Chains A and B, each alone.
Chain A
């Protein structure tokens, strides 16, 4: 049985003219110790998907279970890393992590909790900055605190919502490599949400594309059979890399893009897109039609 399972999950929000379906018929299974990346467009409903798994919102239909038990609300078994870090500004890096440890391991002694928080700050290479407040830290360092906080709870599932989306390309690459290294150590179950296909390929065992909303749904998944540790330069001449990358991109620019999309203005584009929806090589058809 799958460890984390979403079955026929749908979620919509009320609008002035009725309601809009954000996610429709989401079916996803994640095995214990697996790293899965959901790749989709901004505004497709990626954050809604994370919020559902985190228990921050409830599905309209369908079920979400962890280890066979339905999710009824947020819990320390799921650690979440948000794109905007969500650190408490009046607390130091260490205090931010300690707060989570204090909640999760309430029976521990203060010394144990502190040592635990320090261990995870060290894991993200932030020991030197442990007494700094978020305002004194760079974006990359803030996100490291946020990653340390989630890891320190030792959750059964780590939920990452575009964790590196707000960082510049260089810092993003450094943090991706660190996350890969940390994951290698304990093979925790991870669901990563991202709009970056390459980030998914670098980190995940499996990529599941999410189509455009409204009514976004998951597309055909692609396994990433590339040995770890992965190198973003050397991967380019790996035989499987090109296949995985092109399959995900073709789905997202082809059938995944057409779903739920408001019709574009010009007649020619409408023709091209509907041709694409019916064609077996949709991405090519859309641009050459």
Chain B
């Protein structure tokens, strides 16, 4: 059902009593509950990060928001409507950008734009692709194929593709997890600049404390699964537009950082064995 129930910019992306479980191995066994009663409301234009350890269920939450998984109970609303499945109103950036290898960077982004904007003229679509590829710093590499691009450049294409869809909501699943920590810093800047120019409502899953602090307005902390829940929400007060040096020099930066690390360490202890 997709009837618009309410328009409220303070709950533009909303998770309501979201629960995801899988049946036990035998009919008698208890179901495996991955995420339980997850509630979160994201304001229009807000950037929220979901932080937690690998395997805690944060990607499950994001996949449900993307429409790639069905919740067992509860649901996700975007702009007051329950999401009916995957759709171009939500742009997703995955950990690996999932580019089609036989298409150029330009072709990959154009493919998404054709789906999202069937009414636009071919010229308009091409202008959109060019604008976003230039915005992520790939103006000179638009006609290269993924194999000719570094992993950082490929993820730039992934970011350009998600923004070029002009979605209502941007969903990012550990977008820089495959990159080394320094290349990650660069791409975070690309992401925040593109985001600032477009003011998309964004939800990002990460386990990187610095990444969450640099990008987010709020950080939602998830407990470790099974039965993962929301463990707390931190508001990040750094002024925007943000630049790395100023954020790192903020007198409270390392206080916030320590609080997030403390939360993650508390969550890690039951399963710290490597």
Using a CB–CB cutoff of 8 Å, the interface residues on chain A facing chain B are 40-43, 138, 140-141, 144, 165, 167-171, 173-175, 195-198, 232-234, 236-237, 241-242, 245-246, 249-250, 252-253, 257, 264-266, 269, 281, 283-284, 287-288
Which interface class (under 10, 10 to 19, 20 to 34, 35 or more) fits B? 35 or more
Give Cα distance in the complex from A36 to B139, angstroms.
Answer: 39
What is the interface of chain A mostly: helix, strand, loop, or mixed?
A: helix
Q: Is B262 an interface residue (CB 8 A)?
A: yes
Q: Is B119 an interface residue (CB 8 A)?
A: no
Q: Is B185 an interface residue (CB 8 A)?
A: yes
Q: List 11 contacting pairs A-B, 8 Å CB cutoff, sorted by A.
A: A141-B274, A165-B180, A169-B207, A170-B54, A197-B182, A234-B258, A236-B261, A250-B248, A253-B244, A283-B243, A288-B243
B254 A241 Cβ-Cβ under 8 A: yes
Q: Which residue of B lies closest to A241 (CB)?
A: B254
Q: Is B5 an interface residue (CB 8 A)?
A: no
Known: A249-B248, A283-B244, A284-B245. A169 touches B139 (CB 8 A): no
A41 B182 Cβ-Cβ under 8 A: yes
Q: Which residue of B lies closest to A197 (CB)?
A: B181
Contacts of A43 in B (CB 8 A): 150
- One of A41, A242, A265 near B180 (C-beta < 8 A): A41
Q: Is B26 an interface residue (CB 8 A)?
A: no
A174 B243 Cβ-Cβ under 8 A: no
Chain B residues numbered 40-68 whose CB sits less than 8 Å from any CB in chain A:
53-54
Q: Which residue of B lies closest to A250 (CB)?
A: B245
Give Cα distance in the complex from A170 to B273, angstroms.
Answer: 9
Chain B residues numbered 220-274 whose CB sits less than 8 Å from any CB in chain A:
243-246, 248-249, 253-255, 257-258, 261-262, 265, 268, 271-274
Q: Smallest Cβ distance from A85 to chain B, in angstroms?
A: 14
Known: A236-B255, A284-B245, A284-B246. A195 touches B181 (CB 8 A): yes
A41 B183 Cβ-Cβ under 8 A: yes
A170 B268 Cβ-Cβ under 8 A: yes
Q: Is B95 an interface residue (CB 8 A)?
A: no
Give Cα distance in the complex from A170 to B179, angstroms.
Answer: 17
Give Cα distance in the complex from A233 to B134, angstroms.
Answer: 39
A171 B274 Cβ-Cβ under 8 A: yes
A264 B137 Cβ-Cβ under 8 A: yes
